[in-house]
């Protein structure tokens, strides 16, 4: 059975909604951020701080390419879309859903920017990152769910409705 891949901004609900949607649809669940942490034996932020964005990007791409699953909901890190090779791999076996939030919603949801593991280029603001990534999310998305103002339950319901639509 086909996978579901969640992409989106930090704080969009990929991990939180993903695990609940996977449970509701009787799917397995994996989070590529956790795969990176397991491989690196430290937090995402520690990897970024100690080894740099380039190293982190390579580690993230390796995690994406290692996702050889079936009937699995895959929550990706927000920067996964920087890896064209990784995203094309995920699209081969899955339906990609972009959990879209507004800039204001994203900034209000992110409380731990210094420890969260967000890849920012030198001098880049969250707003800069938002605008740079938005086009990439749209490029890879098979479906877009606008999550601005939505509860976790509403977002989970929308993810599940896409899975149901695929079976029809």
Structure confidence at residue 166 (pLDDT): 63
Burial of 79 (0-12, 13-18, 19+ CB in 10 A): buried
Structure confidence at residue 120 (pLDDT): 82
* Distance separating alpha carbons of residues 147 and 158, to the nearest angstrom: 9
CB 94 within 8 A of CB 4: yes
Structure confidence at residue 151 (pLDDT): 95
Residues 6+ apart with CB under 8 A from 51: none
Question: Hey, what domains does the chain have and what are their CATH numbers?
Answer: 3-167 (3.40.50.300)
pTM to 2 decimal places: 0.94
Structure confidence at residue 32 (pLDDT): 97
Structure confidence at residue 122 (pLDDT): 84
Structure confidence at residue 18 (pLDDT): 97
Tens of pLDDT, residue by residue over 55-67, are: 999 999 999 999 9
- Please list the rounded mean pLDDT of every run of 10 residues in the chain (168 residues): 93 96 97 96 93 94 96 96 97 96 91 71 89 96 95 96 69
């Amino acid at each position: 059975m086909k996978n579901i891949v969640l992409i989106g901004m930090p704080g969009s609900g990929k991990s939180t909604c993903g695990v609940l949607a996977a449970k509701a649809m009787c799917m397995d669940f994996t989070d590529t951020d956790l795969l990176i942490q397991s491989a690196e034996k430290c937090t995402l932020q520690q990897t970024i701080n100690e080894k740099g964005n380039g190293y982190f990007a390579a580690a993230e791409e390796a995690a994406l390419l290692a996702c050889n699953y079936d009937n699995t909901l895959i929550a990706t890190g927000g920067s996964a879309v920087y890896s064209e090779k990784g995203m094309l791999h995920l699209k081969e076996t899955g339906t990609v859903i972009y959990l879209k939030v507004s800039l204001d919603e994203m900034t209000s949801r992110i409380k731990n920017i210094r420890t969260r593991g967000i890849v920012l280029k030198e001098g880049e603001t969250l707003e800069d990152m938002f605008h740079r990534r938005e086009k990439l999310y749209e490029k890879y998305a098979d479906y877009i769910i606008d999550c601005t103002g939505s509860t976790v339950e509403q977002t989970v319901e929308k993810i599940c409705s896409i899975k149901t639509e695929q079976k029809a």
